[in-house]
Amino acid sequence: MVCVRFAPSPTGYLHLGNARVAIFNYLFARHNGGKLILRIEDTDRERSTKEFEESIVEDLRWLGIDWDEFYRQSERFDIYREYAERLLREGRAYECFCTPEDLEREREEAEKKGIPYRYSGKCRDLSNEERKRLKEKGVSYTVRLRVPPNRDVSFKDRLRGFVSINTDDFGDFIIVRSDGSPTYNFVVVIDDALMGVTHVIRGEDHLSNTPKQILIYEAFGFSIPEFIHLPVILGEDRSKLSKRHGAVSVRSYREEGYVPEALFNYLATLGWNPSEEREIFTKEELIRMFNIDDISKAPAVFNREKLKWMSGIYIREVLDIDTLYRYALPFIKEAGFDLTDEDYVKRVLEKTKDSFETFAEMTERLNPLLKKEINMSEEALNLLRTEESRVVIEAFLEKMGDNINSQDVKRIAKEIQKEKGIKPKIIWQTLRACITGKLEGVGVDIIADLLPPEIWKERLQKGLMYVSSSK
């Protein structure tokens, strides 16, 4: 059975590139009826935090990714210790007593010679007596794998074909640190082998780790999985996606109010095309159509505006009103909007969903519809302080009666234009300024179908106050 894993380190929020790796693992597992493992790789004790672990788990669930098994590497140290001791007993690894200062001198020497640094192997052939003497003196040590010299380690990457790296490029590498904690390359092999991982799907930044891991697989006699190294995500300037391109974590887009299905859809099709003349797909459709061999070998370019457009499509055309309300609710609460009438809020969302693409934008657009008091922008105040605005407001109050809807607003606006000779733009801007406090946003006619007439009258009368105060 196909078994894959997504293995983030809890040293920061979930990066968009890692989220894309998680999505491809998820789609591959579900398409093949296989298993997905979530494994928290928290062996870096200094940088790993529980807060980041929880945020990664929450953000994966928010994206709609579920998993079949869950592990933390910090809870498996006894297993790693046992396997490290096995390599030491079999002579496939050895204790290295070199100090950081020793290693730094080696690095400096390599720099002077203009050659890449690799460990000299000075502790490789220490006698058992010498090792025992150093341990008794309390000298700290690491554990290094015995790497065969000048060997080409070759493997077939499913996207890139055959890759070969010579062992002289890296030499004997550390598998256990001096504090007893195992290193990434060591534990990832132990875990993948014991958990039955058949395919390792990860970013191409791990490509240089693969030969080291293959040597560890071989040292234990483990079966080697198939490797698929995904191209990175680039910013629009074609440099590696980073904070200078804007938000780069799933958490940021979640907090900005992007639709989770839209982010899943966008990242899934970033570098992989389902070969259909459309761009919006359900998760079930993506699972059914997914073919990992169709992923582009070229880096994918992240386009924030395209993602925002896609989020808007989901809001306008895909989400039903109950889902739209559920996604909007946290943002509505945070904005301090009135939630006493759920049916009214849903009606507002249904009528106004064409005017926003994220839920953060929604709170700005819906402010005049869900809050009793509105804030006036400086532009709106400047408009209301004109004689033409006074004429528009007074005429509208006189004509509106006890009820108001979109047809009434359009009719009254035409009458004011004809009777007072005021341009339509000034009429509509004046009404918008009074009702919303701004000169742009949800259509005034749409607002008329939602706001009670008493609030219309109250806000128009306040608008007259601004006119009067300017005299």
Active site residues: 243
Using CB atoms within 10 Å of the CB of residue 315, give its burial: 0 to 12 exposed, 13 to 18 middle, 19+ buried.
buried
Q: Indicate the angle between helix axes 16-31 and 260-268, nearest 10 degrees.
A: 80
Question: Which candidate, 212, 192, 190, 209, places its Cα nearest to that of 200?
Answer: 192
User: How big, in percent rounded to 5, are the helix, strand and coil portions of the chain?
Assistant: 55, 10, 35
Q: Tell me if 449 sits within 8 A of 367, measured CB to CB.
A: no
CA 64/CA 21 separation, integer angstroms? 14
Q: Is 433 in contact with 439 (CB distance < 8 Å)?
A: yes
Residue 248 bridge partners (DSSP): none
Q: Are 230 and 204 in contact (CB under 8 A)?
A: yes
Place of tokens 């970033």: 270
Cβ atoms of 91 and 310 closer than 8 Å: no
At a CB cut-off of 8 Å and minimum separation 6, what does 156 contact? 162, 163, 226, 227
Q: Using CA atoms, how far apart are residues 190 and 87, in angstroms rounded to an integer?
A: 12
Tell me which DSSP letter residue 3 carries: E
- Are the C-beta atoms of 170 and 198 separated by less than 8 Å? no
